[in-house]
Amino acid sequence: MSLPQKVTVSEVGPRDGLQIEKTMLPAADKLRLIEALADAGLTRIEATGFVHPKVIPQFADASEVAEALPRRPSVRYAAFIPNRRGAERAVAAGVDDLKCGVAASDTFNRLNVRMDTATGMRSLEEIAEVAAGTPSRVVGVVATAFGCPYEGAVRFEEVDRLFTHLVGLGTDLIYLADTTGMADPSAVKDRVTRLAERHPDTRVGLHLHNTRGLGLANALAGLECGVTDFEGSIGGLGGCPFAPRAVGNICTEDFVHMCHRMGIETGLDLDRLLDAARLAQDLLGRNLPGMVLKAGPADALHDPEGTREKVD
């Protein structure tokens, strides 16, 4: 088993994590959470989404949040961008990375961004045009890359077609998104390996959800294929509003804990990540699904005479 020595984690909690939450956090609280994530060493943070507030009310304050982000030389802030207008607003607000993509499923793309896949591909070109000549860069995503709950299996050829389109727009990092948690380790290895062979100059990243309990298993499969770019959500927050029975992304601190136990560097402070997860819990007023948050790191020792509690 060959594993990378170091990986880069992109935190999507403030965007993907919050978009399905019923608790509407004020901009000040979102910024507190983002600052706590940056304090933990995260250098890529997806802070908001420039979408219509009628579709995702949580991001009605996108410009306010983006313009007030705690700027640090090492941190790149991203935002989800569905169209040209969103790109124009994001560039004006100083967003570093325009996260944009298209679903390999026509049905899902219509539900997610109100356009079919073909129209979505043209929209990607418009977003790239807006970013050209500005400090902002485009980071690509192929959504439903491992299956769609409405259309079923997604052919590799369709994923490769969309991936190739994003490569043609000058995107050097493209995430395969298991948007609705339909991937398994074998599928991850197959798609990552084939895309890496076809596009050796483009980094293949993974955006995974834990819908069916396979999130970290799929991440490990990616690590075994040499993937070094992963997305996670603090505390395991998240879920797509257009995915049936949606469950959050792989938990950032759980993934980091696993990497550290396996000798893989992340550049992140696990204790500070756990502080950020606790803050997210407090802000939302509910327990989050992250397991290290509940049980503590595996190297934490306990008093044999102490109280033993069940982890819920």
> Do the bridges between strand 173-177 and strand 203-207 make them parallel or antiparallel, or are there none, so unpaired?
parallel
Task: Report which DSSP code applies to 255.
Answer: H
Nearest to 255 by CA among 301, 209, 286: 209
Residues 6+ apart with CB under 8 A from 193: 225
Q: Is-contact 266 260, C-beta < 8 A?
A: yes
The whole-angstrom separation of Cα 103 and Cα 116 is 9
| 100 is annotated as an active-site residue | no
What kind and span of H or E run contains 76? strand 76-80
Residues 6+ apart with CB under 8 A from 60: 53
By three-state DSSP, how is residue 62 classified? helix
87-91 CB contacts, 8 Å cutoff, 24+ apart: 87/50, 87/126, 87/127, 87/130, 87/131, 88/130, 89/50, 89/62, 89/63, 90/50, 90/62, 90/66, 90/136, 91/130, 91/131, 91/134, 91/136
Q: Is-contact 258 216, C-beta < 8 A?
A: yes
Q: Is-contact 179 215, C-beta < 8 A?
A: no
**Of 225, 240, 251, 259, which is the active-site residue?**
240
Task: Give, in order, the Cα–Cα distances in Å from 311 to each of 84, 261, 292, 304.
Answer: 46, 21, 10, 17
Which residue is it, tokens 């935002």?
79
Report, as residue numbers or ranges, the catalytic residues: 240
